[in-house]
């Protein structure tokens, strides 16, 4: 939404309406895909059902290619696209903590909201725990000091900059890698599920 808003195509109120519609549609798709069930995400980490990996990785690939082509055609200014700055070590630690939360709770923040909206009690407790953790982080963030704000800081960093390659080449290799991972995911699922039956 940011590029359209920055360019003045429409104002705040229209942006809120569009974002609300997109959010509802995204939540609906998550629920219809079965991502509102904690067992779906938990099965991911046992390699029994890698649907979440395949769907989310597909989403990333599609979004990446859309940004690449729309930028190439001059329809989008990539500088308007929000790219989080890289704090390597603090983000690795944060990712590990979130990963543990996903395994234990069976939800990510987004799917917990979807599941809570459908009345799932486990999701409600997960969401409450998330809110408590957010509050706790907000109250103690100053204690983390330099580690949070400076650990492995690289600014706005993208993979083409990391590898020193043209963006199109990086995207090509990512797509090829994704196809290989999708194929491997199918094989791993089959192997694990056949092993659990025997």
Model pTM score: 0.75
Q: Contact, 49 vs 196, CB < 8 A?
A: no
pLDDT (tens digit, 9 = 90+) per residue, 107-152? 988 889 999 988 999 999 999 999 999 899 889 888 877 777 778 8
Q: Contact, 152 vs 86, CB < 8 A?
A: yes
The predicted structure's pLDDT at residue 8: 62
- Give the number of other Cβ atoms within 10 Å of residue 78's Cβ: 14
Sign of CA pseudo-dihedral 33, 39, 45, 49: negative
Query: Would you give per-residue pLDDT tens digits along the chain (198 residues)?
Result: 455 555 566 777 888 888 899 889 988 988 888 888 888 888 888 899 898 889 889 989 999 999 999 988 888 888 888 888 898 888 898 899 888 888 888 898 888 999 998 899 999 999 999 999 989 988 988 887 777 777 888 888 899 999 999 999 999 999 999 999 999 999 999 999 887 776
């Amino acid at each position: 939404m940011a590029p359209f808003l920055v360019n003045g195509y429409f104002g705040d109120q229209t942006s809120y309406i569009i974002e609300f519609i997109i959010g509802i549609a995204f939540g609906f798709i998550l629920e219809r895909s079965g991502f509102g069930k904690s067992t779906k995400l938990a099965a991911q980490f046992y390699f029994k059902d890698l649907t979440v990996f395949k769907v989310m990785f597909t989403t990333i690939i599609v979004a990446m290619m859309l940004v690449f082509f729309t930028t190439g055609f001059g329809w989008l200014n990539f500088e308007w696209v929000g790219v989080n700055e890289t704090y390597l070590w603090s983000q690795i630690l944060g990712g590990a903590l979130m990963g543990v939360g996903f395994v234990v709770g069976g939800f990510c923040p987004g799917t917990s909201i979807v599941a809570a909206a459908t009345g799932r009690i486990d999701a409600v407790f997960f969401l409450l725990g998330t809110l408590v953790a957010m509050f706790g982080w907000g109250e103690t963030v100053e204690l983390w000091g330099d580690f949070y704000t400076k650990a492995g800081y690289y600014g706005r960093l993208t993979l083409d900059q990391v590898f020193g390659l043209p963006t199109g080449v990086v995207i090509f290799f990512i797509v090829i890698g994704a196809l290989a991972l999708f194929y491997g995911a199918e094989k791993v699922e089959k192997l694990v599920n056949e092993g659990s039956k025997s």
